[in-house]
Amino acid sequence: MSPSRNAQRNVRDVVFVDGVRTPFGKAGEKGIYAGTRADDLVVKCIRELMRRNPSLPADRVDEVAIAATTQTGDQGLTIGRTAALLAGLPRTVPGFAIDRMCAGAMTAVTTTASGIGFGAYDVVIAGGVEHMGNHPMGAGADPNPRFMSERLVDPAALNMGNTAENLHDRFPAITKDRTDAYAAASQAKLAAAYANEQIQHDLVPVATMKPGQGWALHTTDEPPRPGTTVEDLAELRTPFRAHGRVTAGNAAGLNDGATAAVLASAEAAEELGLSVKMRLVSYAFAGVEPEVMGIGPVPATEKALKNAGLGIEDIGLFEVNEAFAVQVLSFLDHFGIADDDPRVNRYGGAIAVGHPLASSGVRLMNQLARQFEEDPSVRYGITTMCIGLGMGATVIWENPHHADFEAFATTATTEGAAA
């Protein structure tokens, strides 16, 4: 008998159970992950998630979604499936790969979360990996010549640094002095978070071996430059434009690293005794002019807020990916938020810690989840980022430690029972 097309389907609550990441490294021959495979990095994350959540049977994982921007070599071959097999998950667990450039891991989360909400999955693992040392951004790409011949985009849109300079042009109030000050603050906030041991819990130790150097165990991020001052940043060259404003100091670097998270339906989390660190409220993606891709988080956030029935004033914490300082400041200016607002990137951001492209979305979620635990007064927070070729992504989360969260859950349960 065929199911009725009119049969009611209830959308289920999706919860963020746990997330981990490798320490982020600097891309290149001198980086900590030179000679290390990308897929091995994400395998370490998956194994650590299973170790930290012993009440989750491996055969209850319904899907593994792993993102990579450059899907070739050790980041190719349907990395979600290969990483699941390499991590020792049962062969019955399927997997797939995702590419949405910088928002790869974020898209892995929202795509599998949609499957949970629809009822296709109960528990998933979602994350991302980028080894920019093995795979420099754009290496091997072959952009269609129509992009240039038909002027579909400005040639500058294919270089992220140029798009950041374009954003400065569009918003002249965002000066280099402001971006340098923001960047120095990011370094200081990350250093403070490390001193307070707010970062270390999320990190998976990674052992690497280099010929002639032997084995090394990496337990902290490589990119941070604690003690960076505005005066230091003022001396850096502007590689994308003569007398420009974007430098290596007020932008994220080229990095290697991996992330992974466990998501589940609220019912499955309760059944399996899994923690609930956040509840997904809404998400949205938006397209913008590729030439100013950094403005993408603005329309994405507006869409996500509208979908959730919330206003920007309802958001108590912001995790904004710092691809470029100018990109973050354009977001803050649009919403009337001060450069040094304490709700924004409390642990610092990608300018300090690094941005291994497709992996970064889950890093933002890890940090927001920990801040939710530290600050029960905050009910809603967002993770948001710009995306190459002119897009933005935003996910809104609810804090389970907030006083009103339990009331919401009880109301939802009661309404479901009444229905």
Residue 418 pLDDT > 50: no
Residue 97 to residue 76: CA distance in whole angstroms: 8
Kindly give the residue spans of alpha helices, DSSP state H, lying in 129-216: 146-149, 160-170, 176-195
CA distance 287 to 192: 35
Average pLDDT (167-187) is 97
Strands 95-98 and 63-67: parallel
Which residues are paired to 126 by β-bridges?
65, 261
Please give the pLDDT value at position 407: 47
Mind listing the pLDDT tens digit for each residue in 80-136?
999 999 999 999 999 999 999 999 999 999 999 999 999 999 999 999 999 999 999
Closest-CA residue to 176 (of 130, 125, 240, 221): 240
The pLDDT tens digits for 252-276 are 999 999 999 999 999 999 999 999 9
Please choose, from the candidates 245, 199, 243, 249, the residue with its C-alpha nearest in 3D space to the C-alpha of residue 229.
249
Q: For residue 165, what pLDDT band results from cuts at 50, 70 and 90?
A: very high
CA atoms within 13 A on the CB side of 145: 1
pTM of the predicted protein model: 0.94
d(CA 131, CA 220) in angstroms, rounded, equals: 17
DSSP state of 212: T
Q: Where residue 299 falls among pLDDT bands split at 50, 70, 90?
A: very high
Specify whether the CB–CB gap between 25 and 257 falls below 8 A.
yes
- Cα angle: 273, vertex 274, 276; to 5 degrees: 125
Length of the chain: 419
Q: Which long-range contacts (CB under 8 A, 24 or more apart) does 301-304 make?
A: 301/331, 301/335, 301/382, 301/384, 301/392, 301/394, 303/394, 304/382, 304/394, 304/395, 304/396
Per-residue model confidence (pLDDT) at position 413: 39
How much is the pLDDT for 416?
A: 39
pLDDT for 317-331, tens place per residue? 999 999 999 999 999
Tokens of 222: 């490589």
* Model pLDDT for residues 303-318, shown as the tens digit of each residue: 999 999 999 999 999 9
Q: What average pLDDT is seen over the chain?
A: 94
Backbone phi and psi for residue 234, each to the nearest 5 degrees, phi listed first = -65, -20
Predicted confidence (pLDDT) at residue 338 exceeds the cutoff of 80: yes
Residue where the block lists tokens 């030439």:
291
Domains defined for the chain, CATH in brackets = 14-132+157-398 (3.40.47.10)
Catalytic positions, please? Answer: 102, 355, 386
- Give the residue from 77, 105, 112 showing the smallest Cα distance to 21: 105
Residues 208, 209, 212, 213: is their CA dihedral positive or negative? positive
Sequence letter at residue 88: G
